[in-house]
Amino acid sequence: MTRPAAVWPDAAAAFYAACLDRSDYAATVGRALRQALAPATTLLDIGAGSGLLGRAMLQPGGRWTAVEPNAHMRGRLAGAAGVVRPRVIDAAWESLPQLARHDVVLCANIPGPIDRPRMLLQVCRPLARRAVAWVVPAQPGPRGPCLAGLLPAHLHGEDETPGVDLTLAALPSDERPDQRIDVDWTFRALFADQAAARRYFTDQYGDRLGDDRALDAVLAPHLKAVAGGLQAEARKRSAILIWTASGETDR
């Protein structure tokens, strides 16, 4: 299979999954999803990652299909102990194998909704019996590396338009979602020490962030000593976008 360039290396996937385990993402976004849509009897979870949201969305006894092109994430999905495991498919949404329709199709924080929303919607809609749900970045600020928002704009250098604004602007009025729910949450990363925190940023941005002392000064206000190292927190907002097959949500 040809891999889209956006598919992470395993180390980046492992870091992200560990951060989500420390964050309130599954609790807050999962709760909002369940309130907006009754739990899915069958769930097609595209770009499922470690499966936190899919697990939160699935009705007990439901059937869960996870599409995931990253090997580390597939290992987490298949190997999780003591919890529901999905059927795991190694694919990207751009080249899905033939799939049956599912009650709900979920795309949470995957590449596509911001830069190719019409194409992704065309893939999702025929596969959804009841609803398509996307989770899209909605905070004003950078959308690249998860902790980019800790840097001042002149250092991260990214466009700060909320991703959801770009998604909605790219969809014609008859393809806009039936419902939008915004949820605030906090992304949490743990670094062993100051040098590891610095390395995270220099790996992403190279030496444009200045020397070690300059970068330490930028990061210091954001790093809190906790058991096991230094914790960094980034405030996030996610927009849940829902398209329903009937034109109505369950609530």
Ligand X SMILES: C[S@@+](CC[C@H](N)C(=O)[O-])C[C@H]1O[C@@H](n2cnc3c(N)ncnc32)[C@H](O)[C@@H]1O
- The site for ligand X (CB under 6 A) is made up of 4, 6-8, 20, 46-49, 52-53, 67-70, 73, 92-94, 108-111
Contact assessment for residue 136 and residue 239, using Cβ atoms and an 8 Å cutoff:
yes
Contact assessment for residue 19 and residue 146, using Cβ atoms and an 8 Å cutoff:
yes
Task: Give me the phi and psi of 49, to 5 degrees please.
Answer: 60, -135
C-beta closer to ligand X: residue 135 or 190: 135
Nearest approach in angstroms of CB 231 to ligand X is 19
Nearest approach in angstroms of CB 153 to ligand X is 22
Nearest approach in angstroms of CB 66 to ligand X is 9
C-beta closer to ligand X: residue 16 or 215: 16
Query: Helical H runs in the chain?
Result: 10-22, 25-36, 52-57, 71-79, 117-124, 153-156, 163-170, 194-205, 212-219
C-beta closer to ligand X: residue 92 or 150: 92
Measured between alpha carbons, how far apart are the two ends of the chain, in Å?
40
C-beta closer to ligand X: residue 49 or 142: 49
Nearest approach in angstroms of CB 214 to ligand X is 29
When CB distances to ligand X are compared, the closest residue is 49
Q: At 30, which amino acid appears?
A: G
Nearest approach in angstroms of CB 51 to ligand X is 8
Closest CA to 110 of 19, 214, 241: 241
- Burial 82-108, CB ≥16 within 10 A → b, else e: eeeebebbeebbbeeeeeeebbbbbbb
C-beta closer to ligand X: residue 7 or 99: 7
